[in-house]
Amino acid sequence: MQYRHAPAANHAALDAVLASAPGRPTLPVRLTVELAGRGREHLGRTGALTVWDPCCGAGVTPAVLGLLVPGLARLTGTDADPAPLGLARRNLGLLDPGGLADRAAELDALAARHGKPGYAGAAAAARTLVPASTPSWTVAVADARDTAAVRTALGDAEPDLVLADLPHGRATTWADAPGAGADPAPEHGFLRGVAAVLRPGAVVVAVGRGRTVGLPPGVRPLERLRAGHRAAVLVRAGALQDR
Ligand SMILES: C[S@@+](CC[C@H](N)C(=O)[O-])C[C@H]1O[C@@H](n2cnc3c(N)ncnc32)[C@H](O)[C@@H]1O
């Protein structure tokens, strides 16, 4: 894949500023920025965007978006698992006034306690970062296939763009849908559930491991991408509705 929206850069310091949980994979920073750029391109809009991450985990994806992508008015992170949402609030709190300064102080204290240069470097990075956007943000528990729960979690937010790092691996498996059994294509129900609460013109970006991200039968993507061992699909919400 050619990166058109995210120049090559060393994001190691940013990675150290963000809090993540062991065993919980996060999307690479550059890929996150590129996918948001491509999503915005398909929206054909320059105005401020509302972005929803329906499987936000530790909230690294929406926090990276707020820190690096300009023109974001609102970010919502939801996840079926409440466990990582404390971390998501911490990461999205970096976008609040004083959030990065507080994190720098925390990293300084860790550097002093453990004598690890990595913490000092991350503290220095936190002090030099200036968020590209200062969106309002919310984090809530919701299974993306539960339309009522998702509507409650979104409140009056109307997402323009969805960016979802789909579950994979042992630490982040799909939440069990009642009666789903061993669903051979859990991402279909997930994508339909997400689209059900969106305007038809909204754009859904879903990223998974492997060669491709499956779409329900008959749904045509806007675009498909491969980046390393990840695959992504961009699809219009309207194409997923009633499928
Ligand atoms: C690959 S992880 C995303 C990690 C995230 N990018 C981060 O920074 O932590 C996938 C997430 O999807 C969540 N998940 C699984 N099934 C879900 C469902 N039905 N609805 C919403 N979230 C779900 C998992 O709990 C997990 O946190």
Q: How far apart are CA 172 and CA 23, in angstroms?
A: 9
175 is a domain residue: yes
The residue whose CA is least distant from atom 18 of ligand 1 is 143
- CA 225, 167, 213 angle in degrees (round to 5)? 30
Instruction: Give the pair of three-digit tokens for residue 6.
Output: 């995210």
- Ligand 1 atom 15: the closest Cα is on which residue? 174
Range of the domain at 91: 22-96+131-240
Kindly give the distance from the C-alpha atom of residue 111 to the centroid of ligand 1, in angstroms, as a whole number.
Answer: 31
**Is residue 113, in this structure, part of any structural domain at all?**
no
Mean pLDDT of 109-137: 93
> What is the model's pLDDT at position 181?
66
Mean pLDDT of the chain: 93
Q: How far is the CA of 24 from the centre of ligand 1 (A)?
A: 9
pLDDT at 171: 65
Q: Is residue 16 part of a domain?
A: no
Query: In CATH, what number is assigned to the domain containing residue 92?
Result: 3.40.50.150
pLDDT digits (tens, 9 = 90+) for 12-41: 888 889 998 877 788 999 999 999 999 999
Residue nearest to atom 2 of ligand 1 (CA): 167
Alpha carbons within 13 angstroms on the beta-carbon side of residue 206 total 31
What pLDDT does residue 87 have? 96
| Ligand 1 centroid distance, CA of 110 (Å) | 28
Q: Give 171 Cα–ligand 1 centroid separation in angstroms.
A: 9
- Ligand 1: residue of 79, 183, 204 to mutate (most ligand atoms within 8 A of CB) is 79
- What is the CA(166)–ligand 1 centre distance, in A? 6
Within a domain: 178:
yes
- Quick check: is 123 in a domain? no
Percent of the chain residues topping a pLDDT of 90: 79
In a domain, 42, yes or no: yes
**What is the rounded distance in angstroms from the CA atom of residue 151 to the CA atom of residue 197?**
7
- Ligand 1 is surrounded, with C-beta below 6 A, by 24-27, 54-58, 60-61, 79-81, 84, 143-145, 165, 167-168, 172, 174-175, 190
Grade residue 170 by pLDDT with cuts at 50, 70 and 90.
low
Ligand 1 geometric centre to CA of 53 (Å): 9
What is the rounded average pLDDT of the residues 49-53? Answer: 98
pLDDT at 59 over 80: yes
pLDDT at residue number 21: 80
193 domain residue, yes or no: yes
Question: β-strands 72-79, 203-209: how paired?
Answer: unpaired
In a domain? residue 3 = no
For the chain, how many structural domains are there in total? 1
